[in-house]
Structure 1
Amino acid sequence: MSTARITHATPAATYAKVAGRDWEADKDLPEDAKAGGCKDIAAQLIDWPAGDEFEVIFGGGRGYFMLADQQDPEDETATGARTDGRDLVAEWTAKHSDGVYVRNQEGFDAIDPANVNRAFGLFNRSHMQYSVDREKDAGGEPSLAEMAVKAVDLLAKNENGFVLMVEGGRVDHAHHAGNAARALTDMIAVNEAIKAVSEKVNLEETLFILTADHSHVFSIAGYPVRGNPILGIAGTGDDGKPYTTLGYMNGPGARLDEPRADLTGVDTTDVDFLQQALVPLGESETHAGDDVVIMAQGPWAHLFHGVVEQNLIYHVMDHATGMSERITAAGQ
């Protein structure tokens, strides 16, 4: 599950094999890829061949599962993206009589884990809303915590346990926009999801892993006074202009044709304020090269220590679940 499109980078990596991450719908595939039999990411999710498929899929990206002549139910100006004649939502619904498809808060709230075994929720044509903007959504969207708890209620019915991927995918998008307020509030939403799930499971037998796929050129400057708002003014530069605690090395917050803006009297805590950046990049701030942390608790969490390669995460998960051993024992 993710607040980004379910066909986007991180969620797609759990089920799809593609040469290009942008191959989210069939229209995105180059002609030579189509000729070679390549499948788009959305189709691979619906056509997933292993086991009895996924029990829970929650996120955005509804348009990539809909036909190009289908009008989006929440936006009369938008249609689906598919040109191959496949209505993937209808296909999923036809395959899973024990499941329910939902697209808004009302449908999500009506999911009763006692009566259904799987759920497919696509809550926006593209990415889901930022946490602070959820109330503006036409159909209403569940929070990341609500989605995670509902997923646990559904997955806990499996006596052999489960693996659940939960992504606050829009933290990254807010950083790219140079918008620290939305990045931080979406990170708070991630924290709320962790707290909500931890209250639903047995912590002695549940491994939590929290990490990121990369960093951003995001900076914390000093020295702000104790108790100063994290989005507030930290001090005054040698140019006599205030500077904020938070900033970016590059991105939309830089000015192309004039000196650094004077923030005197500016409400830097406003959710729409873009933090100042050094190098102007109007389209998007960039990723960075910092090591990211892996925080874990529960069984086998002790295997994470020191500086490690990212592929260790998979091996710890495999060891904790015994997945490889089960597959070997089943002769698959």
Structure 2
Amino acid sequence: MEFVLLLLISHLNFICGLIPGLTPPAGLKKKRIYHQIRNPPPEHEMNPTYWRNQAQETLKRALNLQKLNTGVAKNIILFLGDGMGIPTVTAARILKGQLESKTGEEGFLEMDKFPHVALSKTYNTNAQVPDSAGTATAYLCGVKANEGTVGVSAASVRRQCNTTFGNEVTSILKWAEDAGKSTGIVTTTRVQHATPSASYAHSVNRDWYADSDMPSEALEQGCKDIAQQLIFNIPGIEVIMGGGRKYMFPRDTPDIEYPNDWKANGTRLDGKNLVEAWKDMKKGKNAHYVWNREQLKSLDLTKIEHLLALFEHGDLQYELERNKTTDPSLEEMVTTAIRILSKNPKGFFLLVEGGRIDHGHHEGKAKMALYEAVEMDKAIGRAGSLTRDTDTLTVITADHSHVFTFGGYTFRGSNIFGLAPYLSDVDSRPFTSILYGNGPGYSLQNGERPNVSNSEIYENNYLAQSAVPLRQETHGGEDVAIFAKGPMAHLFHSVHEQNYIPHVMAYAACIGQNREHCVKFERGPCPSAAWVPIGSGAILLLLLTLLSCI
């Protein structure tokens, strides 16, 4: 009798789920209506020995971390995934595995393999949920700042030019330049965008890309646009790669790649050609300006001292839309940058931004965002193959997260962009695993949620459904991850304020404010002068070395 009753309830729930507006009687729990079949786990994962052995291998690696790398970081590489919150990292890991014809969950991103992991608190001084400008000032300049401002302290007020002066703060790129290291900026956005600009500019408005973007009052008060600061503030920067050509040329100058597109024309009102200004400043040096992949590939990197490469009038194309003939990948740009910068015996600092992860999320296009994250991970792997952990500190983090998530009890190996395995128990319609808390994917058809299908959800420009309608999806406010390897990477160890990041990098490299813990001494008959870190055990080493030189 009990079996018959359960069978009747099951059928009633099934029927009610198929007929919109029909709900089961009170007291009857509605069953999930599955439209997918769950596959069994891989055979080797059914054996407990597999999981025990895996854990033991991980334990061995963890025990080896007791041998800390307390040396000096000759090189520093900072990878910044704009908008790359932890849900994005996880989804990108699955996507990477699925692109390799695996289920995805069991794999590892390159950043996952880094031995030291921490969390970063991303709030701005005046914002609980931050923007990319205030956060960039934190992880590049070492001080928290107001939203919308770059390279200035929290005493500056956005859009008020006269609050700039006296409140400027310098970045780790500047500290590296002052220490004689080579420096570089690589981004998939315009080079004047929030993240890269905080490394060289001081602006109370992140949107002042060119003088045409500034109010007359700001110009009269002496504020400079960000493009101009890129060229003149720190002229020694060896490598600048990204987009943003139109901010470098006089107004209405046709773009070299898109001469018939007025939106790509130059925007400057002061008549300056900043590319020519850059060339003039580099006379007598082996310096090159390029604007496409062919030109980049033709360069003799063994001879180049300075490179300015602007591949688009605005931001670079999404990886899924990139013209592989004319536009380099982020991996290719990073390879080029490291090969140029590595020639300096004093080392280098390189900032690499996967900036269009953020743009994909803002547009509600999760597929665009996640492919950008996978491409950045390729660049991380490439950087690792071109450097050594013994003398290169590599740090990976994000400026902020997004209101992006994936859930729905999807089965193991489900396509990351696919549908949840069952219908909604409210409107009896399918839904994707990936969803946004807000954004342009909000949609109602005749007062109801659209009946999404497999024919649309895998398109590159598909707008994932969102709960609240907004033209642009917003940032998230939760902590983001910090991954680190190399000298002093263990100093990333807990939950940190975001502005802590450049202080660790500077300490590891003995630059900027943190030179005092390194002692430069002449060894007399000993081989050469060197920077020696003073820390646990290092003082004894220093004394023994000094005695050997007497």
Identify the TM-score tier after normalising by the shorter chain: over 0.9
- 1:53 equivalent in alignment to 2:236: yes
- 1:266 match: 455
Paired residues of 1:256 and 1:280 also in contact (CA < 8 A): no
Q: CA deviation at 1:267?
A: 3.4
- The structure carrying a bigger helix percent of its residues is 2
For each residue in 1:31-81, what CA deviation from the matched residue of structure 2 results, as whole angstroms up to 9, or x when unmatched? Answer: 1111111100000011124xx610000000010001113100111223101
Query: Cα gap change, 1:327/1:206 in structure 2, threshold over 3 Å: closer, same or farther?
Result: closer
* Structure 1 segment 215-230 matched on structure 2, within 5 A: 215-230=401-416
- 1:35 equivalent in alignment to 2:220: yes
Q: Structure 1: how far apart are the matches of 2:515 and 2:505?
A: 14
Q: CA deviation at 1:205?
A: 1.1
With normalisation by structure 1, the TM-score equals 0.94
Give secondary structure in 1 for the equivalent of 2:187. coil
Q: Which residue, 294, 306, 321 being the options, matches 2:482?
A: 294
Q: Structure 2: how far apart are the matches of 1:286 and 1:174?
A: 11
Q: Which residue, 314, 337, 349 being the options, matches 1:126?
A: 314
Q: CA deviation at 1:265?
A: 4.3
Aligned residue type for 2:431: Y
- 1:11 match: 196
Aligned residue type for 2:504: V
For each residue in 1:58-113, what CA deviation from the matched residue of structure 2 results, as whole angstroms up to 9, or x when unmatched? Answer: 00001000111310011122310111011000110111132100001111111211
Larger radius of gyration: 2
Q: Which residue, 385, 402, 419 being the options, matches 1:199?
A: 385
Paired residues of 1:241 and 1:264 also in contact (CA < 8 A): no
For each residue in 1:173-220, what CA deviation from the matched residue of structure 2 results, as whole angstroms up to 9, or x when unmatched? Answer: 000000010100000010000011110111211111111111100011
Paired residues of 1:61 and 1:122 also in contact (CA < 8 A): yes
For each residue in 1:8-37, what CA deviation from the matched residue of structure 2 results, as whole angstroms up to 9, or x when unmatched? Answer: 010001100011010010111111111111
Q: Which residue, 329, 350, 373 being the options, matches 1:143?
A: 329
For each residue in 1:208-238, what CA deviation from the matched residue of structure 2 results, as whole angstroms up to 9, or x when unmatched? Answer: 1111111100011121111110000113211
Give secondary structure in 1 for the equivalent of 2:353. coil
- 1:209 match: 395
Q: Structure 2: how far apart are the matches of 1:323 and 1:6?
A: 25
- 2:435 match: 247
Give secondary structure in 2 for the equivalent of 1:248. strand
Give secondary structure in 2 for the equivalent of 1:72. coil
Paired residues of 1:59 and 1:128 also in contact (CA < 8 A): yes
Q: CA deviation at 1:274?
A: 1.1
Q: Structure 2: how far apart are the matches of 1:176 and 1:190?
A: 18
Q: CA deviation at 1:255?
A: 1.1
RMSD: 1.7
Among the aligned pairs, what percent are the same residue? 43
Q: Structure 2: how far apart are the matches of 1:186 and 1:273?
A: 15
Paired residues of 1:250 and 1:278 also in contact (CA < 8 A): yes
Give secondary structure in 2 for the equivalent of 1:4. strand
Q: CA deviation at 1:326?
A: 8.6
Gapped runs of 5+ residues in structure 2? Answer: 1-185, 521-550
**Relative CO higher for 1 or 2, CA cutoff 8 Å, sep ≥ 6?**
2
Q: Structure 2: how far apart are the matches of 1:327 and 1:70?
A: 46
Q: Structure 1: how far apart are the matches of 2:408 and 2:443?
A: 22
* Structure 1 segment 102-121 matched on structure 2, within 5 A: 102-121=290-309
Gapped runs of 5+ residues in structure 1? Answer: none
- 1:161 equivalent in alignment to 2:161: no
Give secondary structure in 2 for the equivalent of 1:33. helix
Q: Structure 2: how far apart are the matches of 1:161 and 1:115?
A: 17
- 2:207 match: 22
Q: Greater shift after overlay, 145-154 or 110-119?
A: 110-119
Aligned residue type for 1:53: G
Query: Cα gap change, 1:169/1:280 in structure 2, threshold over 3 Å: closer, same or farther?
Result: same
Q: Structure 1: how far apart are the matches of 2:327 and 2:278?
A: 21
With normalisation by structure 2, the TM-score equals 0.57
For each residue in 1:231-279, what CA deviation from the matched residue of structure 2 results, as whole angstroms up to 9, or x when unmatched? Answer: 0011321111111111100001001563211013433122121111010
Q: Structure 1: how far apart are the matches of 2:496 and 2:323?
A: 40
Paired residues of 1:248 and 1:277 also in contact (CA < 8 A): yes
